[in-house]
Amino acid sequence: MRFDIISCQPDLLDSPFSHSIVKRAQQKGLVDIHIHDLRKYAINKHGQIDDYAFGGGAGMVMMIEPIDRMLSDLKAEREYDAVIYMTPDGQTLNQKIVNQFSLLRNVIILCGHYKGVDERVRQHYVTHEISIGDYVLSGGELGAAVLADAIIRIIPGVLNDESSALTDSFQDGLLAPPVYTRPADYKGMTVPDILLSGDGPKIEQWRFEQAVERTRQRRPDLLNE
């Protein structure tokens, strides 16, 4: 899967993609991440990509022209399945949306800044608008990193243990059950006997019951969906 991420602060995106799972996914050739500096498409030699809002008001608006030219260059090279705009007024991200995106081949992620992009960009170029939660970030970059990370980890072959993404919280509509590892007794804090019993089917049943109980207590809204 290929990601083209358009940003006016590309440095913010260096780190999230250069570690552990996401780094390995790129090394394995399963994911291709390209970060683009929107300022390369600025309208003048001062690097201008934003301007005052028509009608007045505080805050700058990202201009349509640099974005249009950047998108045209990308689209001349290949077809894109989605142009995703990161914005706090987008659809709130959840595992279902992540799963759907993970089936795509080429996606563009556009990071907003300041007061956001000229509305015509949203109307004419953007296919999906995503928020990572009901709070406002300084820009879309951290949101883009969250979105890409969540997608990448479920692409087949990215995780060594194939079943591990399938047993994540949310994947079956439930929160994940508790997990334990050695030692079985640490300063009197013990592990549930069932997990040491070696009885596979019983352990699966226990995990399922724990997942349901945890979901009922912490996120009852998930059980009603």
**Is residue 177 a contact point for ligand ADE (CB under 6 A)?**
no
Site for ligand ADE in 44-103 (CB under 6 A): 86-88
Q: Is 71 annotated as a binding-site member?
A: no
φ, ψ for residue 145 (rounded to 5)?
-65, -40
Residue 111, strand partner residues: 86
Nearest distance in Å: CB 64, ligand ADE: 18
Nearest distance in Å: CB 198, ligand ADE: 45
Query: What are the residues whose beta carbons fall under 8 Å from the beta carbon of 55, sequence distance 6 or more?
Result: none
**Is residue 140 a contact point for ligand ADE (CB under 6 A)?**
yes
Site size toward ligand ADE, by CB under 6 A: 12
Task: Decide: helix, strand or coil at residue 217.
Answer: helix
Q: Tokens representing 201?
A: 């089917």
Binding segment toward ligand ADE, per CB under 6 A, in 35-43, 57-65, 126-134, 201-209 = 126-134
Q: Is 133 annotated as a binding-site member?
A: yes
Nearest distance in Å: CB 140, ligand ADE: 4
**Is residue 137 a contact point for ligand ADE (CB under 6 A)?**
yes
- The Cα–Cα gap between 162 and 216 comes to 27
CB 107 within 8 A of CB 101: yes
Q: Is 188 annotated as a binding-site member?
A: no
* Phi and psi based region of residue 157 (left: phi greater than 0; alpha: psi -120 to 50; beta: remaining): left
Binding site listing = 112, 132-137
Instruction: State the residues that interact with ligand ADE by CB under 6 A.
Output: 86-88, 112, 131-133, 135-137, 140, 143
